[in-house]
């Protein structure tokens, strides 16, 4: 795990080395072990200037032979690479016929020579998480690519005369200097969801490379190619109800899953631990890891607010698996101390509050290991979110004749809370399920149904996939990539900790979407994953209602944080063009508003934007 940055330009920068070093300083936390830069100046052989920068977190081949930027033996190809290729030893065997003279044992060399000999087809061989750039001096061409699922970030900015890239947009802020116009669509998306999705960034001139995509830049002509995605037609085929035995399905999942964990443990020259929350997914990872490696360290975090704390479950599972377990309990004081560090870890507005727990957990974990496995990805593949059950209930209500629904819906208006009243009424009285689904999502996003959701609903027609698969696919391609993976990457890399995701191995993802019949997923919450977990753990250790990983935000917002928010909201901000400041100050001083779930989320989201603005935008 590292950080990469650089550019290719027709207009040489006079202080290129100094500039690329400044860009590297923005990603120094991603690679605290070594920093390398290389400049290729225009000459009779090369018409443009190329700069490559790399900050290294040493995981494989700890010697200097693993340092980057790296050049091949001919001196033609240069590479900077962020991530890990877990099956690099297997690919090294494929390359034997080319009689390559390696300098070391790093996966970076394997990646570079794979590209030299296989071209873009090399991407099909890689099992890993990656973002990399390779420059070909002979063709004066740059090739950049991002892994299939989008675990590793990759941003770029370009014009007719230059192309610049980085693991973090902060480096591109330096490259662009004062050309920093905020993208209003991205801002609207952030205010609606708390993150910025798809290929956008907060600034108009900076974009993300989409997951499963590569770019080939030649004379600043960009060829943008998607080399992997989830094929909706193949997902639809499995919906037709192909019969499989339950035991066979569980066995097939186990085979891929255990190998996914195994290769992530073995592809490392440093100790590897496991994040263990006590939930289904992380318990599976810890159980499989403990079978592969007896000396497993596990790490969990809990809260001094008992209703949010699940660390006791993680402790019990760790005891059963006989792992070397470390549990950390945090409270409001730890939360307040971490806010500024957390906001500084994100060079774009981002407000998933559970990331603060990941930040603190990463800091503690880094004291023991350099790499940790996590259980992210199971919810989106195996019907894990409670929202899906709510959607199912709404859908099932449409089997009841409308006349009956309307009468019962009005009767339900005597429910306990205003939100419940609205939901029960809408669930039972709306004539069209699609309208109800949109309205439900609208309510969950504080009354703002963004253009993004509307576009996605238009793009993915309801007739293409079942509603259940549509929900999971939507979350996998959006929420997981643009929220969950961003949160874990930035929070962990703030302390130079690499996090690996066995449940996001592309083989596991393809198997879950292409091979597992929908009816076996919707039997119940993570039904098949629980069946698998029962082969590792006694049922009583994990059988309980799903809580989800969240922090006591509502309570903490109404403590000392409220004063900080009120002071911050008095400052001038870009948001003053979009939000009534008087109303914002009024709401932030009203305990009844911030004590509601969505009130606290909204205030937190706006507060995090102010912090980002102060850390990055105003300084630029």
Q: Where are the domains of the chain?
A: 2-226, 232-382+480-541, 386-473, 553-617
Query: 606 by DSSP, 3-state: which?
Result: helix
Q: Is the pLDDT of residue 380 over 60?
A: yes
pLDDT (tens digit per residue) in 219-258:
778 899 999 998 776 776 665 555 568 999 999 999 999 9
- The upper half-sphere exposure of residue 172, i.e. CA atoms within 13 Å in the direction of its Cβ, equals 27
Instruction: Please determine whether the domains at 2-226 and 232-382+480-541 fall in the same fold group of CATH.
Output: no
Query: 183 by DSSP, 3-state: which?
Result: coil
Who has greater pLDDT, 527 or 12? Answer: 527
Express as a percent the part of the chain with pLDDT over 70: 85
Question: Which tokens sit at 20?
Answer: 């690329």
* Polymer length in residues for the chain: 620
Query: 324 by DSSP, 3-state: which?
Result: strand
Contact 361, 303 (CB under 8 A): no
State the average pLDDT over residues 79-85: 97
State the average pLDDT over residues 500-529: 93
Q: Kindly report the CA angle at 510 between 115 and 251, in degrees rounded to 5?
A: 120
State the average pLDDT over residues 17-32: 94
C-alpha to C-alpha distance for 243 and 257, rounded to whole angstroms: 22
Q: Is the pLDDT of residue 459 over 60?
A: no
Q: Is the pLDDT of residue 428 over 80?
A: no
User: Which bin fits 99, alpha (ψ -120 to 50), beta or left (φ > 0)?
Assistant: left
pLDDT (tens digit per residue) in 86-141:
999 999 999 999 999 899 999 999 999 999 999 999 999 999 999 999 999 999 99
C-alpha to C-alpha distance for 219 and 238, rounded to whole angstroms: 44
Q: Kindly report the CA angle at 309 between 305 and 315, in degrees rounded to 5?
A: 140
* 215 Cβ neighbours under 8 A, 6+ residues apart: 142, 143, 144, 145, 156, 209, 222, 223, 224, 225
pLDDT (tens digit per residue) in 272-310:
999 999 999 999 999 999 998 778 999 999 988 877 788
pLDDT at residue number 451: 46
Catalytic residue among 2, 24, 26, 436: 2
Residue 470 burial (C-beta neighbours within 10 Å; 0-12, 13-18, 19+): buried
Domain 2-226, classified CATH 3.60.20.10, yes or no: yes
State the average pLDDT over residues 136-154: 96
State the average pLDDT over residues 520-526: 88
* 295 Cβ neighbours under 8 A, 6+ residues apart: 324
* 177 Cβ neighbours under 8 A, 6+ residues apart: 620
**155: which strand partners?**
166, 208
Task: Find where tokens 């377990």 sit.
Answer: 325
Contact 369, 271 (CB under 8 A): yes
* 576 Cβ neighbours under 8 A, 6+ residues apart: none
Contact 30, 496 (CB under 8 A): yes
pLDDT at residue number 455: 45
Looking at residue 614, what DSSP letter applies? I
**301: which strand partners?**
328
Query: 348 by DSSP, 3-state: which?
Result: coil
State the average pLDDT over residues 590-605: 83
Closest CA to 129 of 116, 107, 147, 102: 147
The per-residue pLDDT of the chain, averaged, comes to 86
Cα dihedral sign, 521-277-365-341: positive
Any catalytic annotation for residue 2? yes
C-alpha to C-alpha distance for 16 and 36, rounded to whole angstroms: 14
Q: Could you count the other beta carbons within 10 Å of the beta carbon of residue 406?
A: 15
C-alpha to C-alpha distance for 179 and 212, rounded to whole angstroms: 29
Give, in order, the Cα–Cα distances in Å from 94 to each of 123, 124, 126, 184.
14, 13, 12, 48
Domain 232-382+480-541, architecture per CATH: 3-Layer(aba) Sandwich (3.40)
| 170-192: b (≥16 Cβ within 10 Å) or e | bbbbbbbeeebebbeebbbbbbb
């Amino acid at each position: 795990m590292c950080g990469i940055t650089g550019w290719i330009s027709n207009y040489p920068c006079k202080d290129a080395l100094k500039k690329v070093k400044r860009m590297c300083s923005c990603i120094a936390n991603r690679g605290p072990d070594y920093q390398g830069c290389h400049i290729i100046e225009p000459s009779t052989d090369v018409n443009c200037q190329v700069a490559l920068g790399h900050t290294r977190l040493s995981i494989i081949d700890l010697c200097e032979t693993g340092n980057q930027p790296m050049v091949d033996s001919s001196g033609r190809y240069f590479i900077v690479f962020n991530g890990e290729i877990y099956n690099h030893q297997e690919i090294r065997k494929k390359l034997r016929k080319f009689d390559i003279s390696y300098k070391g044992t790093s996966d970076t060399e394997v990646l570079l020579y794979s590209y030299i000999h296989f071209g873009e087809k090399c991407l099909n061989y890689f099992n890993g998480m990656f973002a990399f750039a390779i420059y070909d001096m002979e063709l004066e061409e740059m090739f950049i690519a991002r892994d299939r699922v989008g675990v590793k970030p990759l941003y770029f900015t370009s014009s007719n005369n230059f192309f610049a890239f980085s693991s973090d947009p902060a480096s591109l802020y330096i490259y662009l200097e004062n050309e920093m116009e905020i993208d209003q669509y991205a801002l609207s998306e952030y205010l609606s969801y708390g993150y910025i999705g798809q290929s956008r960034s907060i600034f108009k001139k900076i974009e993300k490379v989409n997951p499963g995509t590569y770019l080939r830049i030649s004379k600043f002509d960009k060829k943008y190619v998607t080399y992997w995605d989830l094929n909706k037609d193949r997902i639809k085929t499995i919906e037709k109800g192909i019969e499989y035995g339950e035991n066979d399905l569980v066995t097939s999942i186990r085979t891929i899953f255990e190998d996914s964990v195994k290769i992530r443990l073995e592809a490392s020259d440093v100790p590897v631990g496991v994040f263990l929350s006590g939930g289904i997914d992380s318990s599976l990872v810890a159980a499989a890891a403990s079978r592969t490696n007896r000396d497993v360290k596990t790490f969990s975090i809990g809260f001094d607010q008992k209703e949010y704390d699940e660390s006791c479950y993680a402790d019990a599972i760790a005891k059963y698996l006989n792992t070397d377990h470390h549990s950390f309990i945090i409270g409001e004081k730890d939360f307040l101390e971490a806010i500024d560090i957390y906001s500084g870890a994100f060079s774009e507005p981002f407000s998933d509050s559970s990331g603060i727990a990941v930040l603190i957990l990463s800091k503690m974990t880094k004291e023991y290991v350099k790499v940790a496995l996590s259980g992210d990805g199971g919810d989106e593949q195996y019907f894990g979110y409670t929202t899906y059950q709510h959607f199912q209930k709404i859908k099932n209500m449409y089997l009841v004749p409308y006349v009956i629904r309307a009468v019962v819906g009005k009767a339900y208006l005597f429910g306990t809370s205003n939100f419940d009243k609205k939901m029960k009424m809408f669930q039972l009285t709306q004539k069209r399920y699609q309208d109800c689904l949109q309205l439900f999502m609208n309510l969950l996003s504080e009354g703002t149904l963004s253009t993004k959701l509307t576009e996605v609903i238009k793009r993915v027609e309801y007739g293409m996939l079942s509603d259940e698969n549509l929900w999971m696919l939507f979350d996998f391609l959006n929420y997981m990539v643009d929220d969950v993976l961003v949160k874990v990457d930035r929070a962990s890399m703030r302390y130079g900790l690499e996090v690996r995701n066995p449940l996001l191995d592309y083989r596991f993802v393809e198997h879950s979407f292409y091979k597992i019949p929908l009816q076996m997923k919707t039997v119940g919450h993570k039904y098949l994953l629980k069946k698998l977990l029962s082969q590792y753990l006694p049922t009583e250790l994990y059988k309980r209602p799903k809580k989800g990983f969240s922090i006591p935000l509502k309570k903490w917002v109404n403590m000392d944080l409220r004063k900080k928010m009120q002071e911050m909201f008095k400052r001038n901000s870009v948001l003053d063009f979009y939000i009534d400041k008087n109303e914002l100050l009024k709401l932030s001083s009203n305990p009844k508003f911030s004590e509601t779930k969505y009130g606290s989320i909204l205030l937190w989201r706006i507060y995090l934007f102010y912090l980002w603005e102060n850390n990055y935008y105003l300084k630029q």
